[in-house]
Amino acid sequence: MQERPDINIPRLIAAYYTEGPDISEKGQRVSFGTYGHRGSSLNNSFNDAHIAAISQAICEYRAAEKITGPLYMGMDTHALSEAALRTAAEVFAANGVELRMQQGLTYTPTPVISHAILQWNSAGYDTTADGVVITPSHNPPQDGGFKYNPPSGGPAGTDVTKAIETRANEIIENKLSEVRRMPFKKAASAENVRFVDFVEQYTSGLADVIDMEAIAKSGLKIGADPLGGSGIYFWAPIAEKFGINIEVVNKKVDPTFSFMPLDHDGKVRMDCSSPWAMANLVALKDKYDIAFGNDPDYDRHGIVTADGLMQPNAYLAVAVDYLFTHRGGWNKNAAIGKTLVSSSMIDRVAAALGRRLCEVPVGFKWFVDGLLSGELGFGGEESAGASFLCRDGRAWSTDKDGFIMSLLAAEIMAVTGVSPSEHYRELMKRYGTPYYSRQDVPASREEKEKLKKLSPSDVAAQTLAGEKITAKLTAAPGNGAPIGGLKVMTANGWFAARPSGTEDIYKIYAESFIGSDHLTAIKEEAAKIVAGAF
């Protein structure tokens, strides 16, 4: 039996306030990755100084861009989220930002902040709103995270995050002398700070995006496991408002997440796509018609049926097939968005539907503009994150939304009488059975840099696992953006290689529609192709 990691919350919080970054150390600088700045106070990468500097940099960015509407700020249930929210509020209030937080200082999921931003910006006000979500997503309890969502409502693009990151590090180098700040008690009572009911604001509109009436009429017994996350206080109001039968299977909020089964590597990780982390809910599968779990900031989903936990790619394909045949209010030309490391089952479903496929690099930010304009009906990524349009074609959220992806599973079952996993079996009968894998391969920093800069001409191979190579990609076909790696495709398989931003590894994603042996051959040849390109 694996021994649980020791998670000392008092020490974590003490380090947040008493320790600080050495700006000469790369790992202690502000660094916005795919989903914001992440780190831990225990290694001086997520401390009061980081959050004060980032918040001041956001204030300056807002001023430069003339963003004067409300800044909606929410946090998840990680221990450092509470501390970071207070730091940020002190800075935002002192800078005169129209700050909006959840009443009672309870938790606010990522999609709720995105939805609030879009609601304000579509209401015809003279000012523009943006937001901040304080979360490290499904990362272990000792981690913290801080991400900025601009007026588009979704994750900020690289141009925005780079500007904020650079300025925040300058502020830290200058010993925080440029940070405006006031005590939290004074900030909480400031005229420019208000506490609002995000639960009511978000819940009241759910029928615009999900057929809640069909779910209610079906009488489905639904299980919801918040995994101790920020959506824990949303399910009861949702059940009451729409008359649906939802039972919250775990009502605990605990910053050590002691109720979580250990993940595959022995870490505490609230990963709703992991069969290890979701073991408690999977054990209850026969008690419910459909069940789901979500990560702490509710931007991801894990769907549990009578067959167990669905693989993320499988549910994405089912969601696409259902939505594009049951949403008559959508633009007939609305495309299907997927990341290039998501399953090609989605490609096959899209082709059968006669819909354009928009394949983009990894990162939900690539879907934001398409969802906002309605050019994309759906955007999803292989790590169990997705969002889609309202039933009439308006944007609902431009960040990943675990609520609506979870409720969609119930809608699918209510409307069709068939579970999402049964739907997926039908898709496999029609389009073939995919075998999908992801693995980590050791790589030096120099090798990772070479992988980022590869061109198709660097790949000499003409075949992959016995099939002719049909495409060698270093830019995404959906938008032409660099993928920061390589994707090689054949008629019945593909692999993609991407360097990790934080570890000395690169990731190989691979898929075969022929069989497990073919998948193994693809992975083995992929490693050789990448090594040859180095």
Over residues 357-397, the pLDDT tens digits come to 999 999 999 999 999 999 999 999 999 999 999 999 999 99
CA–CA separation, 13 and 17 (whole Å): 7
CA–CA separation, 172 and 296 (whole Å): 29
User: What is the phi/psi pair of residue 472, to 5°?
Assistant: -125, 110
Q: How confident is the model at residue 1 (pLDDT cuts 50, 70, 90)?
A: low
| 242-271 mean pLDDT | 96
| 401-430 mean pLDDT | 98
pLDDT higher than threshold 80 for residue 502: no
Domains in the chain, ordered, with CATH? 9-201 (3.40.120.10), 207-431 (3.40.120.10), 435-533 (3.30.310.50)
SS (H, E, C) 386-431: EEECCCCCCCCCCCCCHHHHHHHHHHHHHHHCCCHHHHHHHHHHHH
CA–CA separation, 427 and 417 (whole Å): 16
Q: What is the pLDDT of residue 468?
A: 97
- List, for residues 303-323, the tens digit of each pLDDT value: 999 999 999 999 999 999 999
Q: How confident is the model at residue 182 (pLDDT cuts 50, 70, 90)?
A: very high
137 is catalytic: yes
| 265-294 mean pLDDT | 97
Burial environment of residue 188 by CB neighbours within 10 A (0 to 12, 13 to 18, 19 or more): middle
Q: What is the pLDDT of residue 450?
A: 87
Structure tokens at 22: 């050495």
- pTM of the predicted model, to two decimals? 0.96
CA–CA separation, 32 and 53 (whole Å): 13
Quick one: which of 388, 392, 382 has its CA closest to 367? 388
Q: What is the pLDDT of residue 374?
A: 96
Among 137, 218, 274, 406, the active-site one is 137
- Confirm if 399 and 391 have CB atoms less than 8 A apart: no
- List, for residues 131-165, the tens digit of each pLDDT value: 999 999 999 999 999 999 999 999 999 999 999 99
Strand order in the sheet with 193-196: 32-33, 36-39, 144-149, 130-134, 71-75, 99-102, 193-196
CA–CA separation, 159 and 156 (whole Å): 8
Identify residue 369 by its one-letter amino acid code: D
- Could you tell me where the beta strands, DSSP code E, fall in 35-122? 36-39, 71-75, 99-102
Quick one: which of 359, 364, 436 has its CA closest to 400? 364
